[in-house]
Amino acid sequence: MSAKDNLEEKLEGLGQAIGSDRSLIQTVMTRINARTPAGFSRIERRFTMSRLMKLAAAAAIIIVALLGVRFLDKSLSTTYAFDQTVEAVKNVRFMHVVQRDETGQIEDERWIEIGPDGFQVRYRQDNPPNRLIVEDGQTVSVYYKDKNSVILYDPKDQQYQWIGNLRVALNELAGQASMVIEKNVDYWGRKAHHVRWLTLNVDCYIDPETKLPIAMAGYQISYEDPPEGIFDIVIPEGVVVVDKRPGAPPVEEPEWMKIKDNNAKIAQQNFDEARMMSAAGEYEKAAELFKNVVEIQPGSNWAWFWLGKAHYELGEYDSAIYEFSKVIEMLTKSFKVVPHYCHLARGLAYAAKGMKDMARRDFETGLPVMIDALRNIKSATSFDYADDPLYKDLPEDKRPTAEQSLAMMINRLRLITGQNFGYDPGKAVVENEQAIAAWEDWFKSSGRIQFTPDAELVHIPMAPSQQ
């Protein structure tokens, strides 16, 4: 081998060792969007042209400023009437959803047929090379190619979906105007509206003509009719079939499935107990149980998150940072979702360690959604859930009210910004409206992070149903 070849090999090896961070793009773009949601205006662009153009642009900026038009602010106010997308999706019968890896290979491909009521009728999910799921309307078949086994379920017992029943989920967003949007961007050669679905922290791109989403959470979506037979369940010859549908004759499950089922059961028990321990302030016990869960199910993002919270409460900040980082990596990598609540939690752990810059970066990532939540309280749900592991067990009337969620968000903001603005749950709506407007103005004009552990916090009001 020549010296040059050897050097090239070493350089390539170095490139591999330098590694990459698959969540980098998402993180960088989130931070950029947080600072400059509107992107570059054409006025900024012209600064790169020439001295004359610079002067002209500067003059234009002065005129614009005099006219009181704000092109360059950090406004979150641009909105998209999501109802038109909700309406458009009502006419969709078939969806084709694809996610690719960095090399362009398909990681996940799904075909979905939606019925007139908005619920999934038939479904196919192919995760090469090992798993193929097909629901033909009556039966769900899961083919584990590496195990040479097919498991058949009744859809009532086991159903696979993509972002739930999409149309039903979208319906819940009807009427919500507080969407961060950048209109008419170029999405891989197609014009699209870039919308942030704040309630779920998911980015999507909407076709301006059809109003249909063409990309969501890292998946590309199209609406063509599927190939013939795509929803047919075909059981290859020689595979082990385990029929779990009601009424099917009992069969001996393969050993791997027994272990899998048993582990899932243990994980669920540990998870439920750990959440209760955590809510009761028994953090050591909770941490132990959450650890068991992530050992069995390393993809359980909430177990990782609450394990981090338990360690944070125990003052074990390094462990907490590690666990929160796992959640952030997991969600940004696999689902292209930025868990803002987790950035807040990790920022607090960094702050507790005195690592101000790291804390600031995390707080800055969470801040736009936290500010948005002051008017769109649904954006606060994931923060509330993160703070209360028993949230989902609570009946609707026991969950935090909008007023309580707002007060809790105000407290989180006070903690990381050092700002106050006089919000008081006991005050009149008009006075608090001024406080919320003040928060928004502060975010647009400064948005400076100032971790303030001794910030004055507001009282969380009790709702009558919770007394």
Q: Which residues bind other proteins (CB under 8 A)?
A: 3-4, 7-8, 10-21, 24-25, 27-29, 31-33, 35-36, 39-42, 44-45, 47-48, 182, 185-188, 194, 318-319, 321-322, 325, 353-358, 361
Distance, CA of 339 to CA of 324 (rounded, Å) = 10
Nearer Cβ to other proteins, position 3 or 429? 3
User: Distance between terminal CA atoms of the chain?
Assistant: 79
Q: How far apart are CA 352 and CA 315, in angstroms?
A: 9
Find out whether 347 and 453 touch, Cβ atoms under 8 Å. Answer: no
Neighbours of 224 (CB within 10 A): 9
**Percent helix / strand / coil, the chain, rounded to 5:** 50, 15, 35
Shortest approach of other proteins to residue 411 CB, angstroms? 26
Residue 274 C-beta: closest distance to other proteins, Å: 21
C-beta of 15 vs 315, nearer to other proteins: 15
Min separation Cβ 240 and other proteins, Å: 35
The DSSP-derived string for 56-99 is HHHHHHHHHHHHT--SSS--------THHHHHHHTT--EEEEEE
CA pair distance 467, 462, nearest whole angstrom: 7
Q: Which is nearer to other proteins, 422 or 453 (CB)?
A: 453
Residue 27 vs 411, nearer CB to other proteins:
27
Q: Tell the smallest beta-carbon distance from residue 417 to other proteins (Å).
A: 19
The DSSP secondary-structure symbol of 129 reads: T
Considering the complex, what minimum distance in angstroms separates the CB of residue 192 from other proteins?
9
Q: Which is nearer to other proteins, 10 or 459 (CB)?
A: 10
Which alpha helices (DSSP H) does 70-225 contain, by range?
A: 83-89, 166-171
Longest dimension (CA), the chain: 84
Query: Of the two residues 75 and 325, which places its CB atom closer to other proteins in the complex?
Result: 325
Provide the minimum distance between the beta carbon of 327 and other proteins in the complex, in angstroms, as a whole number.
13
Give the nearer residue to other proteins in terms of CB position, either 46 or 285.
46
Which among 249, 255, 231 is positioned nearest to 155, based on CA atoms?
Answer: 231
Q: How far is the CB of 295 from other proteins (least distance, A)?
A: 17
